[in-house]
Structure 1
Amino acid sequence: MRKLVVPVIAGLLALTGLYLLKKPPAAASEGVAPAVRNVIFINGDGMAAAHREAGRLFLAGPDGSLAMDRFLCTGQLTTSPADPASAVTDSAAGASAWATGQRTYNGAISVDTHGKALPTLGIEAKRAGRATGLVTTSQVTDASPAAFFANSTDRNAEDDIARQYLEVSQPDVILGGGEDWWLPAGRAGAHPDHPAADPTEASLGTEGDLIAAAGRAGYQYVSTAGQLAAAGPGKLLGLFANEEMFQQDGDVYEPPVSLATMTQKALGTLSTDPDGFFLFVEEEAIDEFAHANNGRRVLQAMGELDRTVAVAQSFAAAHPGTLVIVTGDHETGGLAVEDPAGNPGEDGPFPVKGTKLTFVMEWTTTGHTAQDVPVSAYGPLADRFTGKHPNTYVHEVLAPLLAP
């Protein structure tokens, strides 16, 4: 594994300025908790306890905390799938457990082990009259968001998942990457086919021009940060990249629109619904860069995720009745945070904010592991997430709040 010296990552220190130890705003769950009106569910894809600790040390220091650490209620979730070939989950099975309350096989999008479609939280929330939305730095049709708003026996059928968004689940806000899946092969959209950064990317859908179909269904379509900022009220589709909003196999994390910006826009749009809303938010880069054992970019992605958590918490503090949950679908990389002494070949060293100390990140795999993941919650009923539970417990808590 490559050894990164402190000067190489000095530029990352600018990310740490916002992460000071401070008292969180009063939680809506303190005193008499109002009924849950809004739910914001945030997925740090691939994030487990070591990723959070590495982020805390780098961004906040030994006496500081991340925004997600300041949530008063924290527990653990197991992540086992119901897959005859593996005891370790992928994102599809992990998110499907949240969205449906049933464990399933890897690659499945909210279907049971026999391939039968299951009711999902996103669709049930819409049927109950709530506004719904999804925000991700991955493709908007990738496994985690898809599990809340679609059903498929194959997570790779992303063009069909996009079609289901328009024809079945109809989320009010869809923001992220993945324009390639919304257009037929050979028809480039706002993002050119075969870009220099990744010549393999190109439109490849088989469901026709789904962007045009979205327009007919009443969605505003935006593809740049400026267009997103200028978008008015109403249903919103934003696709800001061909595939993920960063180079999956490279060493670059420069999304054209930040996750926090997309989330802020989504909250402003969805919060106008008098019946409340359900919003799924995901930072994909933690998982992708952990697969690459790239600690520098994992720390950067952790910073972007935590900025987004702070946006959600600020909204919740101003809107009693908003429940915010932060967790990960699985652990990626088999990560441990270690002292540099005796570990000269590990990933790092990285500075511990506010000290002369450093740490290294040791990776044991480029795949997923079966580690438990932390879950933290803020707002009414946040205390339901204390203790250790299976990942299906998320559905057990949220279904009575969101279903008709």
Structure 2
Amino acid sequence: MSINRIARRRAVPAALAAALVGAAVAVALPTTALAGGNDNGHGHGHPRNVIFVNGDGMGAAHREAARLALAGFEGDLAMDSLPVTGLETTDPRDPDDTITDSAAAATAWATGEKTYNGAISVDVDGNPLVTLGAEAEAAGKATGIVTTAQVTDASPAAFFANTPDRGLQDQIAEQYLEVTKPEVILGGGEDWWLPAGNEGVYAPRTAAEQGSETDPEVSRSTRGDLVAEAQGLGYEYVTDAASLEAAEGDQLLGLFSNEEMFQQRPEGEGDEYDPVVPLADMTSKALDTLSADRDGFFLLVEEEAVDEMSHANNATRMLQAMAALDDAVQVARDYVAEHPDTLLIVTGDHECGGLTVEDVDDADESGPGGTLDGTPAVEDQISGEDGPFAVADSDEEFVLDWTTSGHTGVPTVVTAEGVGSDALVGYHPNTHLHDVVHEALFGR
């Protein structure tokens, strides 16, 4: 399937420059985003939907470890049962780094252009770029965010905001409300929506409660009370599972934690994966809400804990996050089965942890090694193994071996089904996913 590529650099007009100094902006979109008039650019008069699922930090080994633990030798995860498979490279265009972060990777998906680490849909020179979320809203489609991270974290932000620094999360929230206006926003990060001193529903957590190297979880919006602003704009605000289930509006803001919807720590050091609302339930509610729009929708779904538990080399919690992610994928698959004009993509923005799956073997541990300059390593510098873990429906076990606490540059797996998914077969840069999604949403 050929993809008519849009111009690689679709820079936003000068009116967007205000985003770079913290003001709300108005996006002026190129006419190509609106081609096709009332048939949404499809040429055949019916809407198309896209569900884009990001297992943040998820590489092939994460998927295989989850398959063994959850489904066994003969089983498959929902994400691995999709009929189309490909690989994507993830390198950024950073002056200092070869390996991507989530911001640069998500920008490649959202805009079709590679950029530097930390950038939220701005190019390497800091110029704002048009995002899929903004284009979808301009074309009359509904849009949504579902994540276990802060809703303003790097991956969702890249689809709906422009800023040179991923850390400006209150500015990102303000852009959601005043510029791109996604109809559904569900996840964590209440702290970035409320000003200092207004701690909202979720009590602050001190640095000591989380680990001495972390910042306290306290409200920190410098843009005023953004929850109140959202309510004034018509968003129904929910903060727990019961209020989410009862919500009936067509604009929905749900914030279910101070920051992430879990606690990222090494095993036994305050680590926790027990979201107030499961990812699958947030996904189901988002689909129910967005599917009411007759023009179609774009939904981003993200499981952040795969990445952050991998940073902590915490395989137990990582596998819990993988199970939650696969439950959400099954919700999406069920939707696609009833709505075949929907494209579903499941992938990871990068790999985290340098993870591999190994046999249980006490002798197979790398032990102290050398460094790149030939000097001896410190005595306790060994590769970290977790496990053993049981292979489901068998008597066998496996261990997981981490080689880093950071990101790696290995390609990530892409699986997909639905309209346009055949274009994902093969080995592509991550910007290719942008082009496939763009065609599915808007046509050539």
Same fold (TM over 0.5): yes
Provide the C-alpha distance between the structure 2 equivalents of 1:403 and 1:211, rounded to a whole number of angstroms: 32
Tell me the SS of whatever aligns to 1:112: coil
Identity level (%)? 60
Residue 341 of structure 2 is aligned with which of 315, 321, 325? 321
Structure 1 or 2, whichever has the larger Rg, is 2
Which residue of structure 2 lines up, in the alignment, with residue 246 of structure 1?
262
Looking at structure 2, the residues matched to 36 and 163 of structure 1 have their Cα atoms a distance apart, in angstroms, of 29
> Match of 1:247, as an amino acid?
Q
* Cα distance in structure 2, aligned partners of 1:77 and 1:35: 30
SS of the residue 1:68 aligns to: coil
- Cα displacement string for residues 114-158 of structure 1 (whole angstroms, at most 9, x for unaligned residues): 000000001101101000000000000000000000000000000
Separation of aligned partners in 2, 1:403 and 1:147: 19
Distance 1:175 1:262, change over 3 A: same
Q: Where does residue 386 of structure 1 map in the other structure? A: 425
Deviation at 1:269, TM superposition (A): 0.2
Say if 2:420 and 2:440, in contact at 8 Å, map to a contact too. no
Aligned pair partner of 2:58 in 26, 37, 47? 47
Deviation at 1:340, TM superposition (A): 0.7
Paired position in structure 1 for 2:112: 101
* Residue of 396, 410, 433 corresponding to 1:357: 396
SS at match of 1:133: strand
Task: Indicate conservation of the 8 Å contact 1:194/1:200, yes or no.
Answer: yes
CA distance in 2, matches of 1:275, 1:161: 26
* CA–CA distance in structure 2, aligned partners of residues 145 and 403 of structure 1: 20
The 1-side partners of 2:411 and 2:220 are apart by: 36
Task: Decide which moves more: 138-147 or 336-345.
Answer: 336-345
SS at match of 1:135: strand
Q: CA deviation at 1:381?
A: 1.4
Q: 1:268 aligns with which of 279, 288, 291?
A: 288
CA contact (8 A) 1:321 1:380 kept: yes
Contact 2:419 2:440 in 1 (8 A): no
Whether contact under 8 Å (1:333, 1:369) holds in the other structure is: yes
SS at match of 1:174: strand
Aligned counterpart, 1:25 = none
**TM-score, length-scaled by structure 1:** 0.90
CA RMSD of aligned residues (A): 1.6
Q: Distance in 2 between matches of 1:352 and 1:145?
A: 33
* Residues 60-71 of structure 1 mapped to structure 2, 5 A cutoff: 60-71=71-82
TM-score (norm 2): 0.82
Aligned match of 2:101: 90
Q: Give the Cα separation in 2 of the matches to 1:343 and 1:55.
A: 22
RCO higher in structure (CA 8 A, sep ≥6): 1
Unaligned ranges ≥5, structure 1 = 1-32
- Corresponding position: 1:230 with 2:251: no
**8 Å CA contact retained: 1:127, 1:403:** no
- Residue from 147, 164, 176 that aligns with 1:136: 147
Give the equivalent residue in structure 2 for 1:159.
170
Per-residue CA shift, 1:212-271, capped at 9, x if unaligned? 000111000000111101101310000000000011233210001000000000000000
User: Quick check: 1:338–1:359 contact (8 Å CA) kept in 2?
Assistant: yes
Distance in 1, matches of 2:393 and 2:219, equals 46
Q: Provide the residue aligned with 1:286 in structure 2.
A: 306
What's the CA shift for 1:329?
0.3
Distance (Å, rounded) in 1 between the aligned partners of 2:325 and 2:205: 29
Q: Distance in 1 between matches of 2:344 and 2:439?
A: 16
Q: Match of 1:146?
A: 157
| C-alpha contact (below 8 Å) 1:94/1:330 kept by paired residues | yes
The 3 A distance-change label for structure 1 pair 303 and 34 is: farther
- SS of residue matched to 2:155: helix
The aligned residue for residue 22 of structure 1 is: none
Q: 1:403 to 1:168 in 2, by over 3 A?
A: farther
| Distance of aligned partners of 1:295 and 1:194 in 2 relative to their CA distance in 1, 3 Å threshold | closer
- Count of residue correspondences: 372
